[in-house]
Amino acid sequence: MRRLIIGGARSGKSHFAESLLAAARVDYVATSQRRPDDPEWAERIAAHVARRPAHWATLETADLEGVLAAASDAAVLVDCLTVWLARVLDEEGCWPDAPGEGWVAPPPRRNPGTPPAEALRARVAGLAAAVASTRREVVLVTNEVGQGVVPASAAGRLFRDELGILNIAVAAACDEVWLVTAGIPTKIKGER
């Protein structure tokens, strides 16, 4: 069973995703990176860690394909694809070349011989294929950002567009898709 849980910020999607696997043995994949210089981010991570069952293993990685391909009978909970995409955009050098205040130089490109947009498409396609072919039960959490205002910046529009493309590809690979709004999950794909 492959499930995608989608919703807005603070909609309850992570809580719902966790409830689907509460009694299972789980590899919880945290796609974010720890940021020691950001206390608010550290508090968010700590809150997520504190509510996880003690029997869950936590993997802090962006290598989702590797986790999904692993020979394990543990279920996989990925939280979240939104942060994974931001990391991939960094790794592939996809952000517009107009840095603003607070801009931090991205790390060296992961695939320097491939144009950034092409490398991004390959990474998204690879993840969707890994979701479709995994033998593990998987629950993936992602944000819905396409129902709001049009972002004012080129980087914001790029992120919104690419997250929409990622969500479409992963939703197509999943058996079920759930939309969570105000803490209320609604199944939008799969048997009802």
Q: Which residues are catalytic?
A: 48
Q: For residue 187, which amino acid is it?
A: K
CA 130 to chain centre: 14
Backbone angles phi, psi at 184, to 5 degrees: -110, 115
Contact 37, 44 (CB under 8 A): no
Q: In which region does residue 139 sit, left (phi positive, over 0), alpha (psi from -120 to 50) or beta (all else)?
A: beta
Nearest C-alpha neighbor of 94 from the set 74, 73, 122: 122
CA 90 to chain centre: 14
Across the chain, which distance is largest between two alpha carbons, in Å?
A: 48
